[in-house]
Amino acid sequence: MQARTLDPFRSNCAEPDDNLHEPDPEPVKHDSFEKRETPDMFVTEKELLSSYEEKLISSGGVVDLEERVMASIVCSKAKEALDLASLVMDIASLRLGTIQFSQHTVDQMARTYASIFCNVAEDAVYKNFKTETILSFIGALRGLGAICHILVQDTVAKLKDGCSKNCITDHMGKYS
């Protein structure tokens, strides 16, 4: 008979079973690095735009088909603009470094631009579409872009000097 050697990592009471393996541990997830869902701040406005789109679809006639298609495109672009406005409001609410605007000011500006997007879509549906309407839509988009640019500048200003800050600053210089 041979004596058993003591194994400090295994129990000496039970026979070791090499067929049982512990599962690999789950990778650690960092909540701060996961993409989070942006809240939709303009649900009622989007419902209004959807009702405009339904009206365009249900209205018949081949004569004004081109106008209906254009109005439908304007409505879909207005919805996209509302998504962008929601995103801007969400980014501002994170308080990553904004010193030039308060949260309340960003919300007011984004809501003002949202009403412009809805008015432009309404004008397109009811055939009141003019050059001024297009210019107001573009101006509202430009305003959202300006807010985004300021939010990014303020956030970058709070970063420590290094690769990340230099990379973002270089990109801002190229695309602004």
Tokens of 8: 């400090």
> Would you give the DSSP letter of residue 32?
G
Q: What is the mean pLDDT of residues 9-33?
A: 46
Q: For 107-126, write each residue's pLDDT tens digit.
A: 999 999 999 999 999 999 88
Q: For 31-63, write each residue's pLDDT tens digit.
A: 444 666 778 889 999 999 999 989 888 876 555
Distance CA 127, CA 68 (A): 9
Which single residue is written with the structure tokens 């081109």?
66
pLDDT tier for residue 99 given thresholds of 50, 70 and 90 = low
Domains of the chain: 42-157 (1.20.120)
Residue type at position 32: S
Distance CA 59, CA 50 (A): 14
pLDDT tier for residue 77 given thresholds of 50, 70 and 90 = very high
Q: What pTM, to 2 d.p., does this model score?
A: 0.70
pLDDT, the chain, mean: 78
Q: For 124-136, write each residue's pLDDT tens digit.
A: 988 888 889 999 9
pLDDT tier for residue 98 given thresholds of 50, 70 and 90 = low
Q: What is the mean pLDDT of residues 68-74?
A: 89
